């Protein structure tokens, strides 16, 4: 099992929009494409409150790549992304990393 941590820096004033896009659309498409959400966070305290962070899990890196490729090519996602960004991008940049749980981790 691998975990992917994804951090999005959100455009100023667009936090409600990105949260709505996840809740109303993206999470359903995650399920459709085999992207299992472990958790989703917004900062309460910290240097930047314009971020979201979430953790998803996959059996293998290959399955992760195939899932993201399938979602990116999904016509429904393409339409949703275009519609939700008609007034400008919601996400300024994305950082991700692949994590493997330590042997003593509850997620191992």
Show the tokens assigned to 20: 């709505």
pLDDT at 53: 97
Helix axes 75-84, 61-73, angle to 10 degrees: 70
Show the tokens assigned to 73: 């090519």
Confidence of residue 107 (pLDDT cuts 50, 70, 90): confident
pLDDT at 47: 87
Res 108 pLDDT > 80: no
pLDDT at 46: 87
Per-residue pLDDT reduced to its tens digit, 78-100: 999 999 999 999 999 999 999 99
Which domains, from first to last, does the chain contain? 2-99 (3.30.70.100)
* SS3 (DSSP) at 15: helix
Distance CA 9, CA 70 (A): 23
Distance CA 35, CA 29 (A): 8
Show the tokens assigned to 35: 């992207």
pLDDT at 12: 95
Enter the pTM of the model.
Answer: 0.91
């Amino acid at each position: 099992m691998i975990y992917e941590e994804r951090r999005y820096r959100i455009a100023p004033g667009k936090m409600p929009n990105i949260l709505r896009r996840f809740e109303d659309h993206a999470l359903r498409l995650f399920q459709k494409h085999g992207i299992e959400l472990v958790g989703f966070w917004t900062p309460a305290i910290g240097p930047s409150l314009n971020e979201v962070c979430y953790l998803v899990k996959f059996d293998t890196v290959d399955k992760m790549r195939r899932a993201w490729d399938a979602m990116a090519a999904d016509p429904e996602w393409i339409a949703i992304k275009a519609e939700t960004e008609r007034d400008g991008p919601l996400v300024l940049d994305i950082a991700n990393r692949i994590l493997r749980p330590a042997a003593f981790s509850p997620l191992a």
